[in-house]
Amino acid sequence: MTFQTIPEPFQSPEGSQFHNLILDDFERFYREHLRNVANQRMRASDLAELNRTWSRLNGAAPINSKHLKLCMALVGHQSLRSNGMFFLSVGNAADFPAIADNLAPIDRSKAAAVLSTRTERRANLETVLAGIWTELFEIRKCLERRGQAGRTLRG
């Protein structure tokens, strides 16, 4: 069994290349297609589809749903689970042409910390799982040796 390691940029907690790429793409996407609009909500699946389309047209990698949720939280949009997942106080810019770009600058130090914390937990979990697999392998080897010893005595 092989274990996948986390790519190097992911392991850097403070402002890694990976985090900056996500934030750069998210900020461009948000400024072009989203607006902070009170009393509006957008289905997370619609937001993800809009991001995939934007990414394809702009030569960017689409942002996965977990990172999209984190990025939306960083810019002040809460999520709500109610017959699906929604983001609150956000609307499609095409539906609100009178509202200009109203995204405040993203605090990148806060963003890197949020994105890294989840990654560090994943790395810790992978370390624990690797240890468990090692222990299970050792137990298996012991059981196999016992089985062979039993066969030797009987045979």
Q: What is the pLDDT of residues 123-148, one digit of tens each?
A: 667 677 777 888 888 888 888 888 76
Q: What is the pLDDT of residues 42-73, one digit of tens each?
A: 999 999 999 999 999 998 888 888 888 888 88
Q: Which string of DSSP letters, residue by residue, matches 112-128?
A: HHHHHHHHHHHHHHHHH
For the chain, give the mean pLDDT. 77
Report pLDDT for 117. Answer: 56
Considering the entire predicted model, what is its pTM?
Answer: 0.61
Beta strand residue intervals within the chain, DSSP E: 34-43, 79-81, 85-92
φ/ψ bin of 15: left (φ > 0), alpha (ψ from -120 to 50), beta (otherwise): left
Q: What is the pLDDT of residues 11-27, one digit of tens each?
A: 334 445 656 778 888 99
Q: Which domains does the chain have, with CATH numbers?
A: 11-119 (1.10.10.10)
Copy the structure tokens of residue 1: 């069994």
**Cα–Cα distance between 37 and 60 in angstroms, integer?**
26
Report pLDDT for 113. Answer: 65
